A and B are shown apart, each in its own frame.
Chain A
């Protein structure tokens, strides 16, 4: 079964510091991996996705993630945190289901706090 594990339910960084949010996956086949962001009282929106093309994936708002097969990881980074990055971040893996199509299985989320 395909799944993702997010290490650290809460991460706090200073404004301007590096953001690193960790995600490890478990999959018996090459996975399709996603990072979503959820701002307070809103739905999730896609930050970036890995679909077996380039291993370094760039997303919106300056975020990027690197797929590392040897480490089964897909960590999310941003060189310099901004106050507006404070949100909850979810890693997800896509898997096919009977009948066609796919569904996303989400990690437990990491709440990012950005301090002055």
Chain B
């Protein structure tokens, strides 16, 4: 049963600490997305990779957030330093990169920054 795997599922940290979230996309998918979900803003696209190359990270605060794909089986989203306003659920999704193709979402990483 192919699925997108995200770790950690839950993270509580203190302001100023570094946070790294990891995502294993479905094997064979060539696009990976990072979304952030909050009550106030809903689902926001943070970053998008195609064939491991970053194509769109316009939704990501550049001063503290970074996203990478060191290889085809791993995508990372890092926040350094973290702030309370970063508290949210972060979703990774992968797909085949076609305009009609669906995205497959992981179960999310719930981040709480105290």
**A97 & B97 in contact (Cβ 8 Å cutoff):** no
The answer to whether A43 and B55 touch (CB under 8 A), given A49-B102, A94-B100, A97-B48, is no
**B98 & A102 in contact (Cβ 8 Å cutoff):** yes
- Measured between beta carbons, the chain B residues less than 8 angstroms from A90 are 43
Q: Would you give the shortest CB distance from B46 to chain A, in whole angstroms?
A: 11
- Measured between beta carbons, the chain B residues less than 8 angstroms from A106 are 42-43
Size category of the B interface is: 20 to 34
Q: How many residues of A contact B (CB 8 A)?
A: 27
Cβ of A44 < 8 Å from any Cβ of B? yes
| CB contact list, B90-114 vs A, under 8 A | 91, 93, 97-103, 105-108
Cβ of B24 < 8 Å from any Cβ of A? no
Cβ of B4 < 8 Å from any Cβ of A? yes
Q: Is the interface of B mostly helix, strand, loop or mixed?
A: strand
**B55 & A104 in contact (Cβ 8 Å cutoff):** no
- Complex Cα spacing A109 to B106, Å: 18
- Complex Cα spacing A41 to B93, Å: 15
| CB contact list, A69-116 vs B, under 8 A | 90, 94-109
- Measured between beta carbons, the chain B residues less than 8 angstroms from A14 are none
**B105 & A45 in contact (Cβ 8 Å cutoff):** yes
In the complex, which residue of chain B has the Cβ closest to the Cβ of A96?
Answer: B99
Which of A42, A43, A46, A98 is in CB contact (< 8 Å) with B102? A46
**A103 & B100 in contact (Cβ 8 Å cutoff):** no
Which of A44, A51, A103, A107 is in CB contact (< 8 Å) with B48? A103
- Measured between beta carbons, the chain A residues less than 8 angstroms from B53 are 99
**A108 & B102 in contact (Cβ 8 Å cutoff):** no
- Measured between beta carbons, the chain A residues less than 8 angstroms from B43 are 90, 106, 109
In the complex, which residue of chain B has the Cβ closest to the Cβ of A42?
Answer: B107
Cβ of B31 < 8 Å from any Cβ of A? yes
Interface residues of A (CB under 8 A from B): 32, 34, 41-46, 49, 51, 90, 94-109
5 A-B pairs with C-beta separation under 8 A: A32-B99, A45-B105, A90-B43, A102-B101, A103-B45
